[in-house]
A and B are shown apart, each in its own frame.
Chain A
Amino acid sequence: MAIKKDLLDILVCPKCKGVLELTDSADGLICHACMLNYPIIDEIPVMLADEAVSLKKDADKSDSE
């Protein structure tokens, strides 16, 4: 069972209230403004800023490559 579209439609970033984008592998929701990935664990979106994974390291890594 994938995460429901209805649920995706009502979710926003807890930090900036901006839109979220589902990752290609459907295991996270990305806020591009905050550079955070909110994990989806067992099809439950975890909308807690403390639990989000920062994407800044990945971006820095890409920049330096």
Chain B
Amino acid sequence: MKTAITGTAGFIGSHLAEKVLSEGHEVIGIDCFTDYYPKDYKLNNLTNVLKNKNFSLLQTDIVNCDLTSVFKKVDIIWHLAAQAGVRASWGDQFRLYSDYNILGTQRVLEAARVCGVSRLVYASSSSVYGDVNEFPMRETTYPKPVSPYGVSKLAGEHLCMLYATNYNLPTISLRYFTVYGPRQRPDMAFHKFIRAVLRSETPVLFGNGDQTRDFTYIDDIVDATWKAGILADAVPGIYNIGGGSRISMNDVIDLMQDIMDQPIHPVRSDRQKGDVRHTAADISAAAATLGYAPKTVLKDGLSQEVEWLKSIANGGIYGY
């Protein structure tokens, strides 16, 4: 099958591309290499797939590119391209979020419709929920995002639903809960913490550390995302994709100390605007429809990320 992955050079996109190629399908990768973090990091993510004859990479942005020519013979689109970052989405920067996450998603959907694509999977986020009172978060919970980023991802979900109901374009939105593992973005908490420890620097912890997250390992995310695209009987709609357990940042730091075998004493800083207090996913819908069952426990997944960061510590691109 011919497939396309937008945001293919990113953390999740690059892992997904490897999975799709390993299943024998063709992938057209699209990425505009935004400067949210350096292009070298992203090219490094693509080291394996660039060697694959079934992979083509196109550097373009989804807002301005003629996607109808790109999606002409494509069966499945995984739409992962987005302007990332909750805290950076305030102020003047919101222009990027509205362009890439809202307008860009509409452009992808419109081209998918015109080209008669058989399935579109949209990478959404747990940030659409905001601060809710009921846990676990269910897909039926009324979303009240607390960051402009969350608003932009929710708008993308709504656009997916509109194209599904008005044009019969089968769309599946996956609400990812705090994804971690090898290739995690350098602005994300685990990456920053581990990097700081490896550099003998003091990591910064925002808030008092009591905030909890449903951390989800990259392999589990890829499994769900792959299935959402490929399973013929996957029902279009919205699905939570969580890791299956909820843990506070203080407990994560304890775990990290054990794994890295050294004490970690972070500097405490104020909670940031846009950060939610807690997240926890009800994954029963994804389990029923996609057969989703997270396999990686936090200790194992975190160890993998530590090993990855150690392995590139002398590689240069992350500035060690």
Contact = CB atoms under 8 A, between A and B. Distances in A.
Given A17-B66, A47-B65, A48-B32, A10 B59 contact: no
Interface residues of A, number: 15
Interface residues of B, number: 14
A10 B60 contact: no
A33 interface: no
Given A4-B56, A10-B72, 14 more contacts: A7-B56, A11-B58, A12-B69, A14-B60, A14-B65, A17-B69, A41-B59, A44-B57, A44-B58, A44-B59, A45-B59, A46-B60, A47-B65, A48-B61
B260 interface: no
Interface in B43-88: 56-61, 64-66, 69-70, 72
Contacts, number: 39
Interface of A: 4, 6-7, 10-12, 14, 17, 41, 44-49
B174 interface: no
27 contacts: A4-B56, A7-B28, A7-B56, A10-B70, A10-B72, A11-B58, A11-B69, A11-B70, A12-B66, A12-B69, A14-B64, A14-B65, A14-B66, A17-B66, A17-B69, A44-B58, A44-B59, A45-B58, A45-B59, A45-B60, A46-B59, A47-B58, A47-B60, A47-B65, A48-B59, A48-B60, A48-B61
Nearest to B71: A10
Closest 9 CB pairs of A and B: A47-B60, A7-B56, A46-B59, A17-B66, A12-B69, A12-B66, A10-B69, A44-B57, A14-B64
B56 A47 contact: no
Contacts of A46: 59-60
B6 to A, nearest CB: 13
B58 A7 contact: yes
